[in-house]
Amino acid sequence: MKKAYHLLICAFLLASCDIWNVQPQPFPVWTPIPSRTPGVVTPTPIILTATPLNTLTATNTPEVILVTPITPTTAPTNTPTLTAVIVTGTPSPTVPPAPVQSVAVDILGCNTSIDITHGMGEVTNAYITVRNTGTVDLPNTCALLRAIDEDRGHPDKSKCVEDLPAQYQVNLKLTVDSKYQVGTIIQVDITSNDIILLRVDKQSCREIGLFGGAPSEVGVVEPIEP
């Protein structure tokens, strides 16, 4: 009995002493970490309320001004006189019309002949009328005849007048050396001081007899017939 008592006291002392200097740790128990509840954010509308301003009512009190009429002591003696001024415009100078150069040519017809004087065989004669239809005179006016079958140059293939006044005309006879019994196509150039004013061609120069014969006034400058 005494021995058992001593064992009990020894067990008690041993139990109260820490011989390891380390407290035993409890056995860990793994528990799941609770998940966080997501927060719900609800946008709260911002409501702006207008604050009424204090309205000030301005009251204008009319101001009364007394005006005392002033009676003139001296009446005006000078009465203005209105004078009518007549302004006359200066007429603008008259500009003369610009000069116009214009000619017209009529090929009256043709005939053939034998030119022994110049040592040529058959020649073609063309009768033309040159008219100055412009407003200015044409100095040194010439007419030149050409033919498609022309051989040698004839001295009478060109004729000139020293001056062809405006609204005047002249009949001319022109001659070219042409082939025997060949249809002749002719061309007439009208110049003034070597400047070509008009060029006319005729595909078939018919017999002058069909138009009443050759004109009698050849080389004579005369007014244009109306």
143-170 pLDDT, tens digit each: 999 988 888 889 999 999 999 999 999 9
Is pLDDT above 70 for 80? no
* Per-residue model confidence (pLDDT) at position 133: 95
Work out the pLDDT band at 202, boundaries 50, 70, 90.
confident
Compute the distance between CA of residue 220 and CA of residue 61 in angstroms, rounded to an integer. Answer: 109
Which of 86, 171, 79, 176 has its CA nearest to residue 125?
A: 176
User: Which residues contact residue 112 at a Cβ distance below 8 angstroms, ignoring those fewer than 6 apart?
Assistant: 122, 123, 124, 125, 178
Compute the distance between CA of residue 138 and CA of residue 155 in angstroms, rounded to an integer. Answer: 23
* Per-residue model confidence (pLDDT) at position 216: 82
Which of 150, 101, 156 has its CA nearest to residue 127?
A: 156
Q: Encode pLDDT of 12-49 as tens digits.
A: 555 555 544 545 555 455 555 555 555 555 555 544 44
CATH number at 103-215: 2.60.40.10
* Per-residue model confidence (pLDDT) at position 32: 56
* Per-residue model confidence (pLDDT) at position 128: 94
Work out the pLDDT band at 226, boundaries 50, 70, 90.
confident
